[in-house]
Amino acid sequence: AAIATGVTLTENEIGLGLVAPTAASNLMGDFGAIILLTIIFTAVTAAGSSQLVSVSSLVTYDVFRTYLKPSSSGRELIRVSRFAILGFGIGMGLLASLLFQSGISLQYVYLMMGVLIGSAVAPVSLAILWEKTNKYAATSAAIIGLLCGVVSWVWSANLMYGEITLSSTGNLFPLLIGNVISISVSLGITLIGSMIKPENFDFHIMKQKILVVDDKIRSMIKRDTDEKFLQRSLKLYKRIGFSISVFLVIIWPSSFYLTEFVFEEQPFHLWVWLAIVWAFGAAGIIIFLPLIEARKNISEIFNKAKMNSEMNDISNPSYSYNDDSPLVRILVPIDGSAKSLKALYHANYLFRGAVKVKIYLLHVIEWTNENDENMDEELSSQIQEEGRLILRSVVVPKQINDYKRMVKLGDPAEKITELADKLKIDMIIMGKSGIGKSTLDLGHVTQKVLKLTSKPVILLE
């Protein structure tokens, strides 16, 4: 479009990525420039937000909770996540400003990225695809590949152009050499190191650990962990992906090249309209499909907001209690479902300001036989620790000052009833059903609790 409209740009302007904005401005005036600016802004914010979320998740859960403070509460994790987002966001802004002030173009950054991150491609890919990958070989390969890539890139620029500057290192051949060396060296080190001292990692261990921790929601993830289903899907999408790639990359371009086809007006119009329909179809899927898939969650959010609003309206803030007011003990079983969290918030509003309330948050990890003599103590300890992490991740409303988190192992209904009697609970508040996909009005745990306990039970939809 820029060439067709006679736009002339300097090499520096092209490197700064001004081709598309200039072409849009020439074709559609100020409106075109505004539209393209909006598109670029949306793309940058979307990419930036995804990076912020991923980095904050890594810092919070893979670093802070794993190594620094395993017993951290939900509020602490949220605080660390926010600091990680703030720090990384400021870092991105400073780096972008530094690159711009240094005169480094977007094209230079794009091509240089292969040299800097290409060495991690082979180690990461082999680590998740090949069970014999040696962790030390993969780690050293990424570092050595990076060093070799940078050295070969700078050395080839100096050898070919007699100087080491932004101009010489930004040429295609030095960058190509650096990219190839970075990827090849890391691939070779990973393969050779893994062949000399192969490991034998069993990927099923990860699956087993996930199933143990999420034992209560096994029915929900059964389809996602069905090996036969996954194998069928893998074969199908391999064929589809390979066919589309061959068609778009080889067959389609080759047919035009070999037949020396030249677009006339009508075929070109068809081509343009095909591109427009494709773009609008893709945009429709990207915009509306997530909304359709999340319609139930969106509905729950609005219902919860409505419920909170109604409870705020009916609650009387003029109520107050003194030291002689009776203490009401409420037990709230938490299984991670939306209904159990709704029960927690309902408990917060039920007696707010009227009496003293102590809330017990209980998470029961379902275990068929807690007295099994063959039960591994270490495994039991790990499972309970996972339960504590789940319970600590639940953010308790600030209005609840007196609460206690508890984790138990055994039959959920029996443990709920047992603790209700032991702690002299005045009321149990729980969801009508939990995580399981029960077709009945009441979940099996709820039904059993109603049969076993004599305590008042409030059930929430």
- Average pLDDT value for residue range 200-217: 57
- Average pLDDT value for residue range 189-194: 95
Residue 140 pLDDT greater than 90, yes or no: yes
Share of the chain above pLDDT 70, in %: 82
Q: 227 or 284: whose pLDDT is higher? A: 284
> Residue 62's pLDDT is what?
87
Fold of 318-460: Rossmann fold (3.40.50)
> Residue 371's pLDDT is what?
57
CA end-to-end distance (rounded Å), the chain: 57
> How wide is the angle at C-alpha 46 spanned by C-alphas 41 and 48, nearest 5°?
95
Sign of CA dihedral 251, 253, 258, 260: positive
Cα dist from 394 to 65, 99, 157, 361, whole Å: 15, 41, 55, 10
> Residue 338's pLDDT is what?
76
Question: Which of 239, 219, 226, 280 minimizes the C-alpha distance to 444?
Answer: 219
State the Cα–Cα distance between residues 174 and 155, nearest whole angstrom. Answer: 8
> Residue 86's pLDDT is what?
94
Whether 419 contacts 363, CB under 8 Å = no
Among 34-38, 90-94, 321-325, 428-432, which stretch is predicted with the lowest mean pLDDT? 321-325
Among 55-69, 162-176, 360-374, which stretch is predicted with the lowest mean pLDDT? 360-374
Q: State both tokens at 193.
A: 């190191």
Question: Which of 423, 332, 411, 419 minimizes the C-alpha distance to 370?
Answer: 411
Among 52-56, 152-156, 177-181, 224-228, which stretch is predicted with the lowest mean pLDDT? 224-228
> Residue 100's pLDDT is what?
84
pLDDT, one tens digit per residue, over 397-452 is: 766 777 888 888 888 889 899 999 998 898 898 888 877 656 677 888 888 889 99
> How wide is the angle at C-alpha 42 spanned by C-alphas 41 and 44, nearest 5°?
65
State the Cα–Cα distance between residues 153 and 169, nearest whole angstrom. Answer: 7
> Residue 94's pLDDT is what?
93
> Residue 207's pLDDT is what?
58
- Kindly write down the DSSP assignment for every residue of 208-261, as one continuous string: HHHHHHTGGGHHHHTGGG-HHHHHHHHHHHHHHHHHHHHIIIIIHHHHHHHHT-
Q: pLDDT confidence of 150, banded at 50, 70, 90? A: very high
Question: Which of 431, 435, 437 minimizes the C-alpha distance to 459?
Answer: 431
> Residue 318's pLDDT is what?
43
> Residue 410's pLDDT is what?
83
Residue 212 pLDDT greater than 50, yes or no: no
Domain boundaries defined on the chain: 1-103, 116-201, 318-460
- Average pLDDT value for residue range 194-203: 87
DSSP state of 68: I
> How wide is the angle at C-alpha 422 spanned by C-alphas 417 and 423, nearest 5°?
100
- Average pLDDT value for residue range 109-127: 91
Cβ neighbours for 20, distance < 8 A, ≥ 6 positions apart: 2, 36
pLDDT, one tens digit per residue, over 372-382 is: 554 556 666 76
Residue 227 pLDDT greater than 50, yes or no: yes
Q: 273 or 325: whose pLDDT is higher? A: 273
State the Cα–Cα distance between residues 212 and 383, nearest whole angstrom. Answer: 7
Q: Is 456 left (phi over 0), alpha (psi -120 to 50) or beta?
A: beta
Residue 222 pLDDT greater than 60, yes or no: no
Residue 91 pLDDT greater than 60, yes or no: yes
Question: Which of 205, 138, 158 minimizes the C-alpha distance to 379?
Answer: 205
Residue 211 pLDDT greater than 70, yes or no: no
What is the helix (H) or strand (E) element at residue 84, kind and residue range?
helix 74-101
> What integer best gives the mean pLDDT of the chain?
81
Residue 8 pLDDT greater than 50, yes or no: yes
What is the number of other CB atoms lying within 10 angstroms of the CB of residue 398?
8
> Residue 156's pLDDT is what?
94
Q: pLDDT confidence of 225, banded at 50, 70, 90? A: low
Residue 145 pLDDT greater than 90, yes or no: yes
> Residue 141's pLDDT is what?
95
